[in-house]
């Protein structure tokens, strides 16, 4: 299902730190959030526009600069969601938006089952008309190709340019073991497809 949120995990896979520009965390965040927006699940491969994705500060810099370069305060977000979120502080979506706390129905509406996910749906306006229409279109597409495994897989495939995080691992990292679980490494080991 295209709008099934990720399973809950106890912590992030990666833990880089020490960069002086938050944009440098982009490859880590792309891998961490599986090349899709943490809020609405838009995928990189669904958009042709380069740089259609932003790096979101979960606690905005306007409220506190403490988290400006803190990996745990950064999330991978589409430009639409980052713009709507704007200066609002929200619960960490890594923990608050999981398959057990938010679900999308066939009518394109997402429903939260926890106070945290409900709050995120409201603040990100995830049930505005445009978002519902967009989800319905994607779900119709999914239904149309459901018996064609190749076309179905192309709806959820990973981008070609998976980041090779082992080349970035010269910076300190509290979870260096996460690199071997990155999508680049998994593709190299032919664990994908
Ligand atoms: Zn989004």
Q: How far is the CA of 32 from the centre of ligand 1 (A)?
A: 15
pLDDT tops 70 at residue 131:
yes
How far does residue 170's CA lie from ligand 1's centre (Å)?
Answer: 31
| Tens-place pLDDT, residues 80-122 | 999 999 999 999 999 999 999 999 999 999 999 999 999 999 9
Alpha-carbon distance 158 to 35, whole Å?
7
User: Which position has the higher pLDDT, 178 or 50?
Assistant: 178
CA terminus-to-terminus distance, the chain: 17
pLDDT higher than threshold 90 for residue 170: no
Per-residue pLDDT band at 145 (split at 50, 70, 90)? very high
| pTM, entire model | 0.95
Q: Where are the domains of the chain?
A: 22-182
In angstroms, the CA 55 to CA 78 distance is 8
Q: Taken in order 109, 112, 113, 115, is the CA torsion positive or negative?
A: negative
Going from the Cα of 11 to the center of ligand 1, the distance in angstroms, rounded, reads 21
Whole-number Å distance, alpha carbon 80 to ligand 1 midpoint, is 6
HEC letters along 112-130: ECCHHHHHHHHHCCCCCHH
Cα(53) to ligand 1 centroid in Å equals 8
The span from the CA of 182 to the CA of 162, in Å, is: 9
């Amino acid at each position: 299902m295209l709008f099934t949120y990720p399973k809950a995990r106890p912590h992030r896979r990666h833990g880089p730190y020490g960069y002086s520009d938050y944009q440098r965390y982009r490859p880590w965040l792309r891998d961490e959030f599986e090349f899709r927006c943490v809020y609405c699940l838009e995928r990189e491969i669904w958009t042709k526009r380069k740089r259609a994705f932003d790096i979101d500060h979960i606690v905005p810099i306007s409220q506190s600069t403490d988290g400006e370069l803190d990996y745990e305060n950064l999330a991978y977000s589409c430009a639409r969601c980052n713009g709507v979120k704007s200066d609002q502080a929200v619960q960490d979506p890594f923990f608050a938006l999981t398959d057990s706390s938010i679900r999308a129905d066939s009518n394109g509406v997402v429903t939260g089952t926890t106070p945290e996910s409900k709050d995120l749906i409201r603040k990100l306006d995830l049930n505005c008309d445009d978002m519902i229409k967009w989800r319905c279109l994607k779900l119709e597409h999914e239904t149309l190709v459901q018996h064609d495994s190749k076309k179905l897989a192309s709806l959820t495939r990973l981008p070609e340019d998976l980041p090779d995080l082992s080349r970035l691992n010269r910076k300190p990292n509290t979870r260096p073991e996460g690199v071997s679980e990155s999508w680049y490494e998994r593709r190299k080991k032919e664990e994908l497809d």
